[in-house]
Structure 1
Amino acid sequence: MRKLPVALAVLSLSAVGLTGCSLPGSAEACPQPTGTADALDLIEVSGGAQSLPQVDVYTPFHVESSQWGELAQGEGTQIDGSESQLVVIDVSVVSGDTGEGLVATPYDGSLTNVNAMSVWSQTFPVFPEALRCASAGSQVVVAMAPDDIDPEVASGLGLTEGESAIAVVDVRKVYLDHADGSNVFNTGNGLPIVVRAPDGRPGVVVPDGEAPDDVVVQTLKRGDGAEVADGDAVRVHYTAVSWDDDEVTGTTWDTTPASIAAGGTEDPVSAELTGHTVGSQLMVVVPAADEASSASIYVIDILGIDATE
């Protein structure tokens, strides 16, 4: 079996649609699709939780429509289907005709291969749906119909025309896709007001008065995740707004979260991340650098901390 780095594996594969099961006690918070997945009874997956899985399948294996099911249940932050949500996953793909392994990520235990779900969906379009509600420790098997595999990708995998494929996905880490902490009351007269869309995306209402002369930091939501330390690589969503004209000058919400080193001395935003917790949302108001520039308002969602190895 070929083993590829995660980024290369992502760019060299593709697939689609299925069935699933609900996590006990969490169906309302994160409902999964339901249905029948009889073809999955022909697939047996074994092996250690952190190692390349052994896939045994009755061959030739073929499905007319793709199917999926959860083999092991994880815990913690769940994948919610957002294209920008960051995850660390291992994937192994097996031929439906022969049962032989075609391609796999390294399965080396590293949590540093972080990718947005949008990157994986370019390769496997079904993943945002098939992995919905999965969390760290989840293992999901996906039986992919031929029509759900791009012909160019199928050719690159060595699949024949009309051949199905099987993917086993091991979820290693899931980042928040927006701050989920408890709301914090702030008095803050004369400061901007932050409003949020249902998906967590913030909007900023700028007051008519003058911007403060010093950096102001407010905790809008307080998360219960890990505390950020100096030097941590922190994944954040942020929106930056000009105080003078209410214009958005920068945002990650249209792309993917940014990685910021906490505790930087030159950047007032990164300096303020230290000591806050994952799941928190901060508002940082930075005064204008000079008379020709405007003060800036940053709304920052702390989504997770990258592993160092």
Structure 2
Amino acid sequence: MRLPLALTATATAVALALTGCSSAPEPQASSGQSSDLVEVRGDLGDTPRVDFPTPLAPGETQCTELIEGSGDHLVEGQEALVGLAVYNGATGEEIQVTGFGSEDPVPVVVGGGTLPGLSKGLSCAREGSRVAVVVPPSDAFGDQGQASIGIGPDDSIVVIFDVQQVFLPKANGSPRITRDGFPAVVTAPDGRPGITVPDNPPFDTTEVEVLKQGSGQTIEDGDRVVVHYTGVLWDDNEVFDSSWESGAPASFVVSEGSGSQVIPGFAKALIGQQVGSQVGVVVTPEDGYGDTEQAGIPAGSTLFFVIDILGVV
């Protein structure tokens, strides 16, 4: 994958340009007559018992927070783990109920490939929220409907989200100054990094620098972490992979042993770090892909990653 490297002016100038206070985004939907008619019984995280009159036919997506959560509302690109119950809003028929009770919660991301109405509904949610969302066809499957799950062209959908865990949208730690000769990194307001690799030869060993120091949970060997990352080749500063480009964070098990789902250098960069941190890591071939070409990465390449640590599953 390729990602344009923006913000390659001096780190000082860009950092000054990007500083300043910003208010939390407002939800993209609000409560209304349809969403207020949805009744849900049961505790957060338990399989809900859902009732509503039919048909529900809102003119726009509506959301009502039935159980009040805490913290900020979810924002574009942010990931959460949820229990999810979906119904046909015209007939009341159940479509899917998953992620409750002993079942693993479902990862969802605001925006990206999510239906517009579901993204709007998720923007009303916070960690610990139960939210009822009623979505008209225009924000769901359009005039075609979705016959495979029993949704007609004029049918709304009703969705219950129990938001069990929320991950950071980007690293939120305190900036740190890095050593001379280390790649320069600046970040846009949405968290996307711009990277400039210096002209000097790469380091002889894998080297990690904390770019922003977080204060959350410490990553331990064997943890499954949620991260945003961008990787570039040291030789030409070309991006070879980026979760930012896909519009959703990535989740990996990081370990010093055989259970790791990432290259050794990536795991070394994360184990022992805290959630909320942003780290930069120079990965030598020995801790990367060695003498084997990998998905367009030349054999023997030194790599550089910028990693935002968003949470631990």
Q: TM-score range by the shorter chain?
A: 0.7 to 0.9
RMSD: 2.8
Per the TM alignment, residue 196 of structure 1 is displaced from its structure 2 partner at its CA by 0.9
Q: 1:66 to 1:260 in 2, by over 3 A?
A: closer
Pair 1:105 & 2:98 matched: yes
Query: Using a 3 Å threshold, how does the CA distance of structure 1 residues 164 and 295 change in structure 2: closer, same or farther?
Result: closer
Match of 2:60 among 65, 80, 94: 65
CA–CA distance in structure 2, aligned partners of residues 161 and 88 of structure 1: 29
The worse-fitting range, judged by mean Cα deviation, of 297-306 and 160-169 is 160-169
2:31, 2:63 within 8 Å by CA — same for their partners in 1?
no
Q: CA deviation at 1:220?
A: 0.7
| Amino acid corresponding to residue 176 of structure 1 in structure 2 | L
Distance between the aligned counterparts of 1:93 and 1:102, measured in 2? 5
Label 1:164 to 1:127 Cα distance change in 2 as closer, same or farther (>3 A): closer
Shift of 1:61: 3.0
Tell me which residue corresponds to 2:148. 156
| Structure 1 Cα separation of the partners of residues 240 and 54 of structure 2 | 55
CA contact 1:66–1:148 (8 Å) conserved in 2: yes
Quick check: 1:264 aligned with 2:256?
yes
**How far apart in 2 are the matches of 1:233 and 1:42?**
39
Among all aligned residue pairs of Structure 1 and Structure 2, give the percentage whose two residues are the same amino acid.
35
CA 1:147/1:30 → structure 2, altered by over 3 Å: closer, same or farther?
closer
1:304 aligns with 2:301: no
* Equivalent position amino acid for 1:171 in 2: V
**Match runs of 1:1-309 below 5 Å:** 28-33=23-28, 37-76=32-71, 78-82=73-77, 85-111=78-104, 113-117=106-110, 121=114, 124-132=115-123, 134-150=125-141, 153-160=145-152, 162-186=154-178, 188-255=179-246, 256-264=248-256, 267-288=264-285, 293-306=300-313
8 Å contact from structure 2 (residues 137, 145) kept in 1: no
What amino acid is aligned across from residue 287 of structure 1 in structure 2? T
1:275 to 1:64, Cα distance in 2 relative to 1, 3 A: same
Letter paired with 1:155: A
How far has the Cα of 1:250 moved from its partner? 2.4
**Alpha-carbon distance in 1 for matches of 2:305, 2:152:** 51
Q: In structure 2, what is the Cα distance between the partners aligned to 1:148 and 1:139?
A: 21
- Separation (CA, whole Å) in 2 of partners of 1:36 and 1:228: 38
Check conservation: 1:236, 1:302, Cα contact below 8 A. Answer: yes
CA distance in 2, matches of 1:190, 1:300: 19
**By how many angstroms is 1:260 displaced?**
3.0
TM-score between both structures, scaled by the size of structure 1: 0.77
Equivalent pairs counted in the alignment come to 275
User: What amino acid sits opposite 1:197 in the alignment?
Assistant: A
Shift of 1:34: 6.1
CA distance in 1, matches of 2:224, 2:31: 42
Rate the CA distance shift 1:131–1:287 in 2: closer, same or farther, 3 A.
same
Contact 2:174–2:212 (CA<8 Å) still a contact in 1? yes
**TM-score where L is the length of structure 2:** 0.76
Give the equivalent residue in structure 2 for 1:15. none
Cα deviation per residue 1:229-264 (whole Å; 9 max; x = unaligned)?
011122222222222222223222212333333232
**Do the aligned partners of 1:117 and 1:128 also contact (CA within 8 Å) in 2?**
yes
Q: Structure 1: which 5+ residue stretches go unaligned?
A: 1-26
- Give the CA deviation at 1:153: 4.8
